[in-house]
Amino acid sequence: MVEFDFENILKLSMIDIPKEKKKFFREQIEQIIDFFNIINELKLEEVEPTQWKFEESQRLREDIPESFGNAKEIIEGFPKKRDRFAVVPQVIESS
Residue-wise DSSP of 50-86:
PPPTTGGGG------------HHHHHHT-SSEETTEE
Contact by Cβ (8 Å): 81, 87: yes
**pTM of the full structure:** 0.44
CB under 8 A, 24+ apart: contacts of 11-16 = none
Q: Phi, psi (5° rounding) for residue 82?
A: -135, 115
| Per-residue pLDDT tens listing for the chain (95 residues) | 667 788 888 889 888 899 999 999 999 999 998 999 999 899 888 888 777 666 566 677 888 888 878 888 888 899 999 988 999 988 887 76
**Chain centre distance of CA 80:** 34
